């Protein structure tokens, strides 16, 4: 069984609203730039994927404000009113964690005495902790969406967005809801959050114009981004009754868990391949039916190699012909919200019949033998997969098909 996507909304480093994201994909324009969210002089990380929307608040209110902005657009595009509570409307949403206390550890490990950024971050972090309340945030989103049915907060690291969509699909399949509001939000462009990943040697130190280079032989790590994306899922029967049309179809979902290490995925992509195969089976599609794959592609050495190995396991000799790109090169890594935004960018690929580019790819990696799309390219896109893989081996893949092509 599948469900229709009847609405979508997004805010990210590419801009505010779906039109801005469509334009960025068509132009091959990225949104990574120099950090402006905090005083970054002397800080070890110089760039991030920031949402440059002056109307948004900072601090702990930012993830919710971005989620509400994307939600408004998604409801409007779906033709749904969120004012009246509907017990047949559910919510499954990926929400990021609060910033961790890392000041003492950062000073010891990085040799940073008292940089301006950390000094300013410490009291801000305490305020964030005092106001962080995930259930309350979920309730406010549900209230605005009119979702009086089941409510779920998804946190499976960077697979969270796809797991939220997959949970929404399952709720509709088993008749627990007619409409599910899904998506994710995260805002970790914060000195303490950046230092958390710096201590793991996961971040790129490159200049903003080519800091994120997924699958490139010279990649050095990911760039942290922020944003929110919302997707409205609806049963076909419910959508038809109210005269709605599908923007695309969520046709398949697969998930797995490596349990290989605290932060590492399986080096041969064992769990990632399992999730992709499960999504294909759920969609009842052979691998060669896909026209595009939006890879997780973080631009870390090991993760990209593992994902490439998983793709080669699933597609075999045809892996070299499947168009692949990682849109994180455009947006940075939105962490908990990453695969939610990438689902929206995959939706744009289906609607606009264009392959999003993998920016900054110049030097092929012999350990990542894939057909990487480096520039926006018009193409026939009837079915596409989007991957979301997270720390500890959390894996989730979804398949979107063109409306009317399933």
Residue 177 has pLDDT above 70, yes or no: yes
Rg from Cα positions in the chain: 20
pLDDT category of residue 102 using cuts at 50, 70 and 90 = very low
Catalytic residue among 21, 190, 238, 333: 333
What is the pLDDT, as a whole number, of residue 116?
Answer: 56
At 23, is the pLDDT very low, low, confident or very high (cuts 50, 70, 90)?
Answer: very high
154 is catalytic: no
What is the per-residue pLDDT for 120? 56
pLDDT surpassing 70 at residue 319: yes
- Is 405's pLDDT higher than 70? no
Q: Where are the alpha helices (DSSP H) in 236-320?
A: 236-241, 270-283, 301-315
Q: Which whole number is the average pLDDT over 76-98? A: 90
Instruction: Kindly list the domain boundaries of the chain, sorted by start residue.
Output: 3-241, 252-402
pLDDT at 103: 47
Q: Given pLDDT bands bounded at 50, 70 and 90, which one contains residue 65?
A: very high
What pLDDT does residue 130 have? 44
The pLDDT assigned to 316 comes to 96
Do 328 and 358 contact (CB within 8 A), yes or no?
no
pLDDT range class, residue 200, cuts 50, 70, 90:
confident
pLDDT of residue 98: 59
Question: Would you call 317 helix, strand, or coil by DSSP?
Answer: helix
Question: Measuring CA to CA, how many Å separate 69 from each of 144, 163, 184?
Answer: 11, 21, 12
pLDDT mean over 79-85:
88
What's the rounded mean pLDDT across residues 89-109?
68
> What is the distance between the alpha carbons of residues 238 and 257, in angstroms, rounded to a whole number?
33
CATH class of the domain comprising 3-241? alpha beta
DSSP assigned state of 395: E
pLDDT of residue 125: 52
Quick one: pLDDT at residue 57? 84
Domains 3-241 and 252-402 alike in fold: yes
Q: Is there a contact between 105 and 79 (Cβ–Cβ < 8 Å)?
A: no
What does each C-alpha distance from 56 to 10, 22, 36, 149 come to in angstroms?
14, 21, 14, 29
Catalytic-labelled residue, pool 154, 212, 296, 368: 296
On whether the pTM is more than 0.85, the answer is: yes
* Residue pLDDT, tens place only, 264-306: 777 788 999 999 999 999 999 999 999 999 999 999 999 999 9
Residue 294 belongs to what H/E stretch?
A: strand 292-294
Mean pLDDT (whole number) for 142-150: 96
Q: Are 384 and 399 in contact (CB under 8 A)?
A: yes
Quickly count: other Cβ atoms within 10 Å of residue 54's Cβ.
Answer: 4
Q: Please provide residue 95's backbone torsions phi and psi, each rounded to the nearest 5 degrees.
A: -125, 130
Residue 46: count of CB within 10 angstroms of its CB = 17
Tokens representing 352?
A: 């606009």
Alpha carbons 381 and 323: distance in angstroms, whole number: 10
pLDDT digits (tens, 9 = 90+) for 224-250: 999 999 999 999 999 999 999 999 999
pLDDT score recorded for residue 393 = 83
What is the enclosing helix (H) or strand (E) of 367?
none
> Is 296 considered catalytic here?
yes
Catalytic pick among 158, 212, 265, 368: 158
Q: What is the pLDDT of residues 331-351, one digit of tens each?
A: 999 999 999 999 999 999 999
Tell me yes or no: is domain 252-402 CATH 3.40.47.10: yes
Contact between 142 and 91 under an 8 Å Cβ cutoff? The reply is yes
Q: What is the mean pLDDT of the chain?
A: 90
Tokens standing for residue 328: 């994180």
CB distance 330 to 30 below 8 Å:
yes
Of residues 114 and 69, which shows the higher confidence score? 69
Catalytic (active site) residue 190: no
H helical segments located in 5-152: 18-27, 62-78, 103-110, 116-131, 134-145
Query: Which whole-number Å values give the CA distances from 167 to 255, 311, 396, in the listed order?
Result: 11, 24, 11
């Amino acid at each position: 069984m599948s469900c229709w996507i009847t609405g979508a909304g997004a805010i990210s480093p590419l801009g505010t609203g779906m039109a801005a994201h469509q334009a960025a994909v068509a132009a091959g324009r990225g949104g990574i730039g120099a950090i402006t969210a905090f005083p970054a002089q002397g800080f070890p990380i110089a760039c991030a994927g920031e949402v440059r929307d002056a109307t948004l608040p900072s601090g702990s209110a930012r993830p919710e404000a971005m989620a509400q902005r994307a939600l408004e657009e998604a409801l409007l595009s779906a033709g749904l009113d969120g004012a009246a509570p509907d017990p047949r409307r559910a919510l499954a949403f990926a929400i990021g964690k609060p910033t961790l206390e890392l000041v003492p550890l950062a000073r010891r490990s990085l040799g940073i005495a008292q940089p301006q950024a950390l000094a300013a971050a410490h009291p801000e972090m305490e305020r964030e902790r005092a106001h962080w309340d995930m259930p309350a945030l979920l309730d406010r989103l549900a209230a605005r969406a009119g979702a009086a049915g089941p409510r779920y907060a998804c946190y499976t690291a960077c697979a969270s967005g796809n797991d939220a969509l997959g949970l929404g699909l399952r709720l509709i399949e088993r008749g627990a809801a007619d409409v599910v509001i899904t998506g994710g939000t995260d805002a970790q462009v914060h000195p303490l959050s950046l230092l958390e990943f710096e201590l793991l040697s996961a971040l790129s130190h490159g200049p903003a114009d080519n800091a994120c280079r997924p699958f490139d032989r010279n990649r050095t790590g990911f760039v942290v981004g922020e944003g929110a994306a919302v997707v409205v899922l609806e049963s076909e029967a419910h959508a038809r009754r109210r005269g709605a049309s599908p923007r695309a179809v969520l046709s398949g979902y697969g998930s797995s868990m490596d349990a290989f290490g605290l932060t590492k995925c399986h080096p041969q992509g064992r769990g990632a391949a399992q999730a992709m195969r499960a999504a294909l089976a759920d969609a009842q599609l052979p691998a060669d039916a896909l026209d595009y794959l939006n890879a997780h592609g973080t631009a870390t050495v090991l993760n990209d190699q593992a994902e490439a190995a998983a793709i080669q396991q699933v597609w075999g000799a045809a892996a070299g012909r499947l168009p692949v790109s990682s849109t994180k090169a455009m947006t940075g890594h939105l962490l908990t919200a990453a695969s939610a935004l990438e689902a929206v960018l995959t939706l744009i690929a289906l609607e606009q019949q264009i392959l999003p580019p993998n920016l900054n790819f110049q030097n092929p990696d012999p350990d990542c033998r894939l057909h990487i799309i480096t520039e926006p390219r018009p193409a026939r896109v009837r079915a596409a997969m989007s991957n979301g893989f997270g720390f500890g081996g959390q894996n989730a893949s979804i398949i979107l098909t063109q409306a009317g092509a399933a």
